[in-house]
Structure 1
Amino acid sequence: MLKMTLSALIVGATALTSTVALADWREDVPVFRIGILGGENEADRLREHSCQKDYLENILGVPVELFPASDYAGVMQGLLAGQLEFAGLGSAGYAGIVLQDENAVEPLYTTQQVDGSLGYYSVMYVRSDSDITSLEEMEGHSLAFADPNSTSGYLVPNAELNEMGINPDAYFSQTGFGGGHEQAVISVLQGQYDAGVTWTSGVGDIAEGFSRGNLRSMVDKDLLDMDDIRIIWQSNLITNGPRVIRQDVPEELKSLVMGAMMRLQSVDRDCYDAINDGESMSYYPIDHDFYLPIINMRRQLAGVR
């Protein structure tokens, strides 16, 4: 009888401890706020991420709110100011946060492409009816970057062009920012710029916009026919961007989010594809060191400025 009583007390104490632990982090984080990068229509972004909202609410037991920003800087500042707990970033966006506050966020995982790689490419494109067929023929023509905090839409093409001895400000007749990847493509299609840069997995069927990326997303939404553009330049492989969480949130919450998202492709493949701009293999755990080359590239760009 005494053993049964002690066992009951132990079980009860364990349950109470678990409940208190859950209550503690939920009191600290009563709402889990997710930042969504700009670059496409806000209604589309909210619709695509609504499944993630429902999925995490069920697992975390707290409301989940989505915050689409008009540009990359909005999500970055939201994380730095403690107004967001979680977000997907490009490698340059993560580097930009680290250079402002190295203790602000930590990367949890990235996306693995259908070929198993952990990277993607920046590509320069023109309209298919353009006379421009190469980077060499872009001299004296206008170029639309996507966003100043975009890895593939600014940081990498800017850096690689400079490494080739091309100063974008002098080489092109005009450079500007399209306000996001999707908007930049549209501006080229409408003739506002001669060329633009965006991101793609570089694998899969080119007619579908490849397996993943902005081109694939626009093809899927009937905003782009790949016959209407021509790719004239491709970068070296770029590290896939991370999903990050604020460092100061409770460890239990970090573990719950990491575990839930690493299972997403098995639990709800349609949701997984919807929030990843096309098809990919799975999520892959990474850490800060994975992004050191991009951090150094961004630090160098800041030094040049």
Structure 2
Amino acid sequence: MGYQWWRGVALAGAALLLSACGQSAVNDGGGDSRNPDELVFAAIPSENASSVQASFQNVIDLLQKETGKTVRFQQATNYAAVIEAQRSGKVDIAQYGPLSYVVARNTGVEATAIAAQVQEKGLPPGYRSYGVVETGSPIRDLAGFKGKKICFVDPNSTSGTLYPRAGLVDAGVNPDTDITAVMAGGHDASALGVATGQCDAGFAYDTMVDKQLIEKGQLKPGDLTTVWKSEIIAGSPVAVSDDLDPALKEKVATVFQQQANVDYLETSGVCKPGEKCEVDDAGDWGYAKVDDAFFDTVRHVCDVTKAEQCTTA
């Protein structure tokens, strides 16, 4: 059911996205590669926010400056919508999660990762999934999730679903039959669902729990207790459509690999002193160069878990 399920989910979420992006798919008439006047950059929010464009605006401005193209940002409702849009040629640059990137490649999307998110300067591009409970809960580990109502994020979320499922299996808990699963939609919603008692436990990525929700005043330090941490997960990638003009792809890659980070934005004057300097909506330092093979660890987890979310067409 895997491919057909998420493809069906994508149609509603992608309808507006696709209708707005037709010009980007027009070939300029030169050979088999495209060199459109407009590039479409798509992403989904890491939180249940109404708009994330402001968080990506610095990167959008860099892309426009370095490529000479108009860059249109499109916010999708889920990973499936981004996958479907890039498959159909309506999206040129996509911010994926690690799993959704692997699913995109597995199901015929002709796009390649060029960079991945880096949480802090000097760290490798990666992060962890957390299993959390409300502080004071009797649940001490993933084995204690059995029989409970558990918040996940999105079916195609790496840290919000895939790695948690693998962790549950390792703990002797069948994620299909031993728990009641709730798809919260966002990492913030999953964590807050636990904090408010809507779920007995749940999963979200590390900085959402440790930093973002606390900084926004939606959680207080100590509201949640982390009872499980995943292994390091490959950072969320930006993938560029393979059929773009090679010189244009190189310009896009340069932006993400060398300029889309807080240090460059501050030293180049894009970010003014004292103001919040953003490259994305997750509060990351920036991006680092990666290639497709960087995501083989995710493919390995898919192979081990046989998760439906990884099923190819």
Distance in 2, Cα, partners of 1:57 & 1:36: 17
1:51 is displaced (CA, Å) by 2.1
Q: What is the distance in 1 between the residues matched to 2:102 and 2:74?
A: 21
Partner of 2:166: 159
Which residue is 1:79 aligned to? Answer: 86
2:16 corresponds to which residue? none
In the other structure, the counterpart of 1:284 is 288
Q: 3-state DSSP class of the match of 1:169?
A: coil
What is the count of residue pairs matched by the alignment? Answer: 270
Specify the structure having the higher radius of gyration (Cα).
1
- C-alpha displacement of 1:100: 0.2
Larger proportion of helix: 1
TM-score w.r.t. length of structure 1: 0.79
Alpha-carbon distance in 2 for matches of 1:130, 1:236: 24
Structure-1 residue corresponding to 2:225 = 230
* Percent of matched pairs sharing the same residue: 23
Structure 1 residues 94 and 221: alpha-carbon distance in aligned structure 2, compared to 1, 3 A threshold:
same
> Is the CA contact (8 Å cut-off) linking 1:71 and 1:180 kept in structure 2?
no
Which residue does the alignment assign to 2:105? Answer: 98
Provide the alpha-carbon RMSD of the alignment.
2.7
CA deviation map 1:114-163 (0-9, x unaligned): 35233211111112243323323322211011110000101111123223
Q: Does structure 1 retain, via aligned residues, the 8 Å contact 2:40–2:92?
A: yes
Of residues 182, 187, 194, the one that matches 1:181 is 187
C-alpha spacing 1:303/1:133, structure 2 compared with 1 (3 Å): closer
Q: Contact 2:39 / 2:69 at 8 angstroms: preserved in 1? A: yes
Spell out structure 1 runs of 4+ moving beyond 6 A.
22-27
Q: Distance in 2 between matches of 1:192 and 1:258?
A: 42
Q: How many angstroms apart in 2 are the aligned matches of 1:171 and 1:147?
A: 19
Task: Specify whether residues 214 and 52 from structure 1 end up closer, same or farther in structure 2 by C-alpha distance, changes over 3 A only.
Answer: farther
1:78-101 CA-to-partner distances (Å, cap 9, x unmatched) read: 111211111221110111101101
In structure 1, C-alpha distance between the alignment counterparts of 2:34 and 2:98, rounded to whole Å: 32
- Quick check: 1:213–1:278 contact (8 Å CA) kept in 2? no
Give 1:78's aligned amino acid: A
AA partner of residue 277 (structure 1): A
Aligned pairs (5 A) from 1:19-34: 28-34=35-41
C-alpha distance in 1 between matches for 2:309 and 2:37: 40
Partner Cα separation in structure 1 for residue 159 and residue 235 of structure 2: 10
Task: Please give the TM-score of this superposition, normalised by the length of structure 2.
Answer: 0.77
Q: CA deviation at 1:214?
A: 6.0
Query: Gaps spanning 5+ residues in structure 1: where?
Result: 1-21, 201-211
Task: State whether residues 133 and 200 of structure 2, in contact with CA within 8 Å, keep that contact through their aligned partners in structure 1.
Answer: yes
Match of 1:267 in 2: 264
The amino acid across from 2:76 in the alignment is: A
Question: Within 5 Å, which residues of 2 pair with 1:7-46?
Answer: 28-46=35-53
